[in-house]
Amino acid sequence: MSSSNENGRPVVRAGMTVQSLFSSVRMDPLELRVLLEHAIGFTRVKLITHSDHELTEEQARAVSGVLSRRLAGEPVAYIVGFREFYGLPFTVTPDVLIPRPETELLVDLALERLPDRGRLADLGTGSGAIAVSVAAIRPDTEIWATDVSEKALGIARKNAVSNLGEKRSVRFLQGCWFDALEPGSRFDLIVSNPPYIHSGDGHLQQGDLRFEPLSALTDYADGLSALDILIDQAPVWLKKRGWLLMEHGYDQSGAVRKKLAAKGYSQVQSWKDLAGIERVSGGQLPD
């Protein structure tokens, strides 16, 4: 049986069935399924076919632990240690941002613009989600992925090994933006999902964002300073007709396009994510 303590959190006991958890725990069913898979080691199919399974003492403690963490606000991805992105599983820890579905647009746009045996730089790679996803589809591409955080690069390297195996074509470098690249390097494409949230945005203190690395979310300013650096310095590193593509905030596309045009990029435009929000903007270096 189940009940709640004085904090309103579910009490999980040995003998409870999987089905009773789905009936009694007030949580998104998909999140609950993922947490149960992680806590008791069942696959999705086994959760369905063994819904009458009674929890052991050890399983009850494990389930209680993950539910308490989630109900305290901790992101599911950090609890289970991974998040799927572009069809691949990525290890995530509080040292990196959690990859989000809207960022898959950036991968789509990059793949559309990559020439055969092209060169791509992913600046601020975090978990390596963008770089590794591109490499998985286009192993002929030479990819450089940078991040200022050595801990983040450690996670990214792990994801490259687990997802790419012998197809690994990603080179990881530590440094701030373009400082990590070797002088004289030129790329067909530069992509980035930089920190773009305004430092005063209240969302930083809400939901999953409270648990994610602050320096990967905000520039501690107006949300545009990292985007300014990318726009200003990318021409030095791009080949002729190379592209710069950047993810940004829901209300920043107009400002980003204006900055790109002022810097002399051509083909300046923005692309909408699945929610209809202009999520990525970019431009092409002229001949």
195 assigned to a ligand binding site: yes
128 assigned to a ligand binding site: yes
196 assigned to a ligand binding site: yes
Structure tokens, 103: 């960022």
Residue with tokens 């390097």: 185
126 assigned to a ligand binding site: yes
Report CA-CA distances (Å) from 68 to 25, 32, 207, 220, 232.
11, 12, 15, 31, 46
Q: What is the 3-state secondary structure (H, E, C) of 116-167?
A: CCCEEEEECCCCCHHHHHHHHHCCCCEEEEEECCHHHHHHHHHHHHHHHHHH
Q: CA torsion, points 224, 228, 230, 232, in degrees to nearest 10?
A: 170
193 assigned to a ligand binding site: yes
127 assigned to a ligand binding site: yes
Can you tell me the distance from the alpha carbon of 56 to that of 122, in angstroms, rounded to the nearest whole number?
46
Structure tokens, 274: 């699945």
Q: How far apart are the first and last CA of the chain?
A: 70
Of all helices (H) and strands (E), which one includes residue 62?
helix 57-71
How many helices and strands in the chain, by DSSP H and E? 10, 11
Can you tell me the distance from the alpha carbon of 257 to that of 270, in angstroms, rounded to the nearest whole number?
7
- φ and ψ at 64, to 5 degrees? -60, -40
177 assigned to a ligand binding site: yes
Can you tell me the distance from the alpha carbon of 67 to that of 20, in angstroms, rounded to the nearest whole number?
14
| Known binding positions for S-adenosyl-L-methionine | 124-128, 147, 177, 193
| Known binding positions | 124-128, 147, 177, 193-196
| Known binding positions for substrate | 193-196
